[in-house]
Amino acid sequence: MKALLPALSFILMLGLAGQAGAHEVHVQVSPTQAALIQLSYADGQPFAFEAYELYPGAAELPAQVGRTDARGRVVFLPEGTADWRLKAYAADGHGTDQRLQVALPEQPAAPDAAPAQGLDRFSRLLLGLALILGGFGLYQFFTCKKRKSTP
């Protein structure tokens, strides 16, 4: 039974390895040119943390929805469409619904792919298994009593 326990533990860890990767969130930051819309009330106060919807051209579904930031700004990537419709509204009834012309930026040359930072999932799995098996080997080395050899 003792010999079966490490094998069962190993199989259990392999089964759970896929579950651990399910909670990963990958983040990629790419320098690009974006459009910035500044919204404010008539008295100059920022239209802060209010809801907005952005529609490309004559689309019926918004391409982007959200809330303005603390300074009343909306930031988005025009992506080939110069004509946009902005609907912004506050709970107290203030708001706007207007068409905007956004100057499309020149598309910069795509940067070369940066080398991956850190280890990919498979490498981390192999590293984890190597550490576990190495730890088990060290445990066995230091805890097992040397057997006497009989002539």
For the chain, give the number of residues. 151
Residue 96 in tokens: 């706007």
d(CA 15, CA 7): 12
What integer pLDDT is reported at residue 84 of this predicted model? 94
What integer pLDDT is reported at residue 90 of this predicted model? 94
pLDDT at 28 exceeding the cut of 80: yes
pLDDT at 41 exceeding the cut of 90: yes
pLDDT at 8 exceeding the cut of 90: no
What integer pLDDT is reported at residue 79 of this predicted model? 80
Q: What is the mean pLDDT of residues 86-98?
A: 94
Q: What is the mean pLDDT of residues 62-76?
A: 96
| Alpha-carbon dihedral sign for residues 68, 73, 79, 85 | positive
Percent above pLDDT 70 for the chain: 70
Return contacts of 1-9, CB within 8 angstroms, 24+ apart: 6/136
- Residue 129: name the closest of 3, 14, 12 by CA: 14
Min mean pLDDT across 86-90, 133-137, 147-151 is at 147-151
Pairwise pLDDT comparison (107 vs 128), residue with the higher score: 128
pTM, two decimals, is: 0.57
Pairwise pLDDT comparison (123 vs 99), residue with the higher score: 99
